[in-house]
Amino acid sequence: METLHARAHEPAPSRDLIRSLLAAEHYPAVLDRTALALAALPDDAELYFARGTAFSALQRPEAAHAALTRAVVLMPGLAAGWLNLGNTCVDLGEEADAERHYRTAIRLDPTLAEAQASLGHLMMTQARLTEALFACETAVRLSPKMPQAHWNLASVRLLTGDLARGLPEYEWRKRHPAFRRDFPPLPGPYWSSGDPAGKVILVRAEQGFGDTIQFARFLVQIAQAGGTPVLQCDPKLVPLLARLEGVVVLPHSARVEGYDAWTDMMSLPLAMGADLEALPGRKGYLRAASPRAGGTRRRRVGLAWAGNPAQANDRRRSVPAAALAPLLAIPGIEFVNLQVGARARDLPLPDHCERLTDFGKTAALLETLDLVIAADTAVVHLAGAMGVPTWAMLAHVPDWRWLMGREDSPWYASMRLFRQDRPGDWAGVVTRIVADIQLPLPTDTPKG
């Protein structure tokens, strides 16, 4: 969020204190102090701005919207106020209003890089990629050291399949104020590229389970090139990823010494020079403990419809359980619940949460299935990485790795992509799946 600069003609100590508290991100204190100050100055735009910014940071978008609206009514030329109001509208799902407010901020202050970056991200979520690219490039030009501008630019370029220019920009994720604490420097040299042969390379997992599973293919590639990758990851992934040949897998808590260099998991495609048309492991690189059973039997289809609710894009990527009702009504199919967490009980299917305590156990269950149908979650990556036939249910504009406008995935040969034709249209996705699933299902897809 943009903050106001102190103005020399307003030396009031309480105002200076509020500015300092806001800059230091002491948001509850900002709310306390602005409440007191507004009793004396009920029509002060800066106080409403500070209050709205604090509400937004504390994830109270309705209160933020009210305060920021009051701020721009009192001071219509306040570009930062319009920007922050636009951000709040995004949080509330009011995207048309958000675009209007961003453009107002840019008109008032064409140098406001954060408004360009926010507009670019909004345009991307609406599949307006040419506009998104222009806005993000403008933001980077205006503020070359702003991490969010580079990260937004990375997302747009990667969504269009431009790995060569997108992956270097994606490195800026490590500098974002909200996430840089996840990337403390480690002892020893950082490995950014080069021949890994003969080197022990420590790889630090990051972000979600699905990200670690998806990018584990590059660990195999390092091992095949003569290096020894040592992965530190969540303990729930260790039983699964320990089966990767030539890869040492340890929990995050393990102490690792004696490595030659280190890197971060999602920097591996950049380090290895990934080519979208020749990604390693497309046909599968993970296996369960026991081989997949063949033969004719009743069709078994696994379902996972929701991801981690704390993930920033979860409201777009997760499928409401009620939308899957037409699928469950199809006779002759045994549906298997792959969902974990509180939402595992959203469908009338047996809850396997107690059984699926790590991804090795989930992989063993996937080996018994003919097909997996899943939203953009760790399960969809696990199934694809195992070469299990997989149908992914995707939002109109999905995460960058799924690209745009194609029904296949360059990451997973066994996967089909079912996309929303328009934002929020999960009914259309399910209708197409219902039509196709009543055809003979693919079984025992060759792996390699």
DSSP conformation letters of 389-447: -EEEEE-SS--GGG-SS-SB-SS-TTEEEEE-SSTT-HHHHHHHHHHHHTSPPP-S---
- The 10 Å Cβ neighbour count of residue 180 is 12
Residue extents of the structural domains in the chain: 13-170, 186-278, 299-437
Alpha-helical segments (H) within 75-146: 79-91, 95-108, 113-125, 129-142
In this structure, what are the phi and psi dihedrals at residue 293, rounded to the nearest 5 degrees? -75, 140
pLDDT surpasses 50 at 13: no
CA distances from 411 to 23, 186, 295, 401 (A): 42, 30, 28, 8
The pLDDT confidence band at residue 313, using thresholds 50, 70 and 90, is confident
Q: What is the pLDDT, as a whole number, of residue 2? A: 55
Q: What is the pLDDT, as a whole number, of residue 354? A: 84
Which is the CATH superfamily of the domain at 13-170? Tetratricopeptide repeat domain (1.25.40.10)
The pLDDT confidence band at residue 445, using thresholds 50, 70 and 90, is very low
Portion of the chain with pLDDT greater than 90, in percent: 83
Q: What is the pLDDT, as a whole number, of residue 447? A: 41
In this structure, what are the phi and psi dihedrals at residue 359, rounded to the nearest 5 degrees? -75, -15
Ranges 31-40, 158-167, 198-207: which has the least confidence: 31-40
Residue with tokens 């209160």: 63
Residue 130 makes CB contacts below 8 A (sequence gap 6+) with none
Region 73-102 average pLDDT: 97
Rounded to whole angstroms, the Cα distance separating 274 from 279 reads 6
In this structure, what are the phi and psi dihedrals at residue 57, rounded to the nearest 5 degrees? -65, -30
Rounded to a whole number, what is the largest CA-CA distance in the chain? 82
pLDDT surpasses 70 at 290: no
Please say whether the beta carbons of 1 and 87 come within 8 A: yes
Structure confidence by residue, pLDDT tens digits, 179-201? 989 999 999 999 999 999 999 99
Q: What is the pLDDT, as a whole number, of residue 438? A: 83
Q: What is the pLDDT, as a whole number, of residue 344? A: 87
Structure confidence by residue, pLDDT tens digits, 18-59? 999 999 999 999 999 999 999 889 999 999 999 999 999 999
Torsion, CA 196, CA 201, CA 204, CA 207, rounded to 10: 10
Rounded to whole angstroms, the Cα distance separating 150 from 171 reads 9
Region 363-379 average pLDDT: 95
Report helix, strand or coil for 230. Answer: strand
Please say whether the beta carbons of 386 and 286 come within 8 A: yes
The pLDDT confidence band at residue 291, using thresholds 50, 70 and 90, is low
CATH C-level class of 299-437: alpha beta
Contacts for 150-157: CB closer than 8 Å, 24+ residues apart: 151/176, 152/117, 152/120, 152/121, 152/124, 153/120, 154/400, 155/121, 155/124, 155/400, 156/120, 156/124, 156/129, 156/132, 157/133
The alpha carbon of residue 146 and the mean position of all alpha carbons in its chain are separated, in whole angstroms, by: 19
Query: Fold for domain 186-278?
Result: Rossmann fold (3.40.50)
Q: Does 186-278 match 299-437 in CATH topology?
A: yes
The pLDDT confidence band at residue 297, using thresholds 50, 70 and 90, is low
List the structure tokens of 326.
């037409």
Please say whether the beta carbons of 108 and 79 come within 8 A: yes
Region 363-386 average pLDDT: 95
pLDDT surpasses 90 at 8: no
Closest Cα partner for 2 from 71, 63, 66? Answer: 71
CA angle 305, 94, 378 (to 5 degrees): 20
pLDDT surpasses 80 at 292: no
Q: What is the pLDDT, as a whole number, of residue 12? A: 45
Rounded to whole angstroms, the Cα distance separating 79 from 275 reads 41
Region 159-175 average pLDDT: 97
Mean pLDDT of the chain: 91
Portion of the chain with pLDDT greater than 70, in percent: 93
The pLDDT confidence band at residue 315, using thresholds 50, 70 and 90, is confident
pLDDT surpasses 90 at 341: no
Ranges 115-119, 178-182, 183-187, 437-441: which has the least confidence: 437-441
In single-letter form, the type of residue at position 255 comes to: R
The residues that bridge with 228 in the sheet, in sequence order, are: 200
List the structure tokens of 167.
């992956």
> Of all helices (H) and strands (E), which one includes residue 71?
helix 61-74
The pLDDT confidence band at residue 14, using thresholds 50, 70 and 90, is confident
In single-letter form, the type of residue at position 298 comes to: R
Rounded to whole angstroms, the Cα distance separating 126 from 129 reads 8
> Of all helices (H) and strands (E), which one includes residue 358?
none
